Structure 1
Amino acid sequence: MTAAQRMNFTKAAPKVFKAMIALDAAARADLDPTLVELVQIRASQVNHCAYCLDMHTKDARKAGESEERIYQLNAWREAGLYTEKEQAALALTEAVTVLTDGFVPDAVYEEAARHFEESELAQLIALIFTINAWNRIAVSTRKIPGTE
């Protein structure tokens, strides 16, 4: 049984929504579209955001991502399907999303910094905190997958 959506955030906070759209566009600029979707799917998996999982798996397919890599993303470390750069981005995604110990481990950050130029790394961090914000909006308002 699916719980009812609590509110339409877009209508309830249109200025915030508009700012989020601008932040989202800025965060993804200059990053590979497939990598963007992998990061957004992985953060959404960690955050249990069904709405964002639905949206970003569809967007990943449109960006040319394979079904196999989408299906195995939840086990990316074991799958052997992702490049070193993608793995570094996914590890950073998990570290920034969870913040279990209150920080991002140096080894995770340094591995990401090895694969991304500083400006790209800044974009990646922005992408990660942006999808986390979207996840929190969708989860807290119970946004229904497949709806606008």
Structure 2
Amino acid sequence: MNSRVSLSKKNAKAYSQLITMSNNIDEQAILAGLEEGFIHLLKLRLSQINGCAFCVRLHTQDAQKCGVSIDKIALVATWKETEYFSEKEKSALSLAESVNLIHNEYVPDDIYQESAKYWDEAQLASIEWISIIIGAFNRVAITSRYSVKP
């Protein structure tokens, strides 16, 4: 691979602010009642969709550290086809994917309304913010060609 400008190093202040924002979003999500392991599953799933190997590895490891089973981690890519995820979790994954893929159908009302059955406003906002911030990190890592070695 050709080397690229490291966005995190070239403008360390902006990257630091992105980290600070991400930490704030995670803190608010936990305060709103989202489990830390599930937050990492959301980030993992979105990173899979975006094709960010660096973030896939990172959030797989983070989910494991939070006690998420390896089966659930492995199956997050096919969450619609499994019984490992509750309807509540599925609604959050669906909403997160819709926000991440906003260019496809915006965020469809039916997906949002389904999530609103299970999650309160603070939780919905957290799921949406997690989707937005991980998209930013995915783009930084992919654009900079972050190295992912064994």
TM-score computed with the length of structure 1 as normaliser = 0.91
Letter in 2 for 1:99: I
Q: Secondary structure at the match of 2:104?
A: coil
- Show the counterpart of 1:90: 93
- Show the counterpart of 2:113: 110
Does 2:2 correspond to 1:16? no
Residues 1-51 of structure 1 deviation map (CA, whole Å, 9 limit, x = unaligned)? xx2441322221111111101110111122310110110000001000000
Which consecutive residues of structure 1, in runs of 5 or more, have no partner in the other structure? none
RMSD, aligned CA: 1.5
Q: Name the CA shift for 1:146/1:93 in 2 (closer, same or farther; >3 Å).
A: farther
Residues 67-110 of structure 1 deviation map (CA, whole Å, 9 limit, x = unaligned)? 11111111100011101111011101111111243410111111
Q: What is the CA-CA distance between 1:59 and the residue it aligns to?
A: 0.3
Cα distance in 1, alignment partners of residues 83 and 138 from structure 2: 27
Q: Name the CA shift for 1:116/1:5 in 2 (closer, same or farther; >3 Å).
A: farther
Bigger helix share: 2
Question: Which of 60, 63, 70 is the aligned partner of 1:60?
Answer: 63
Cα distance in 1, alignment partners of residues 10 and 78 from structure 2: 37
- RCO (CA 8 Å, sep 6+): is it higher in 1 or 2? 1
- Show the counterpart of 1:140: 143
- Percent identity of equivalent pairs: 32
> Is the 8 Å Cα contact of residues 43 and 134 (structure 2) preserved in structure 1?
yes
Does 2:38 correspond to 1:40? no
> Is the 8 Å Cα contact of residues 8 and 140 (structure 2) preserved in structure 1?
no
Which consecutive residues of structure 2, in runs of 5 or more, have no partner in the other structure? none
Letter in 1 for 2:20: A
Q: Paired residues, what number?
A: 145
TM-score computed with the length of structure 2 as normaliser = 0.90
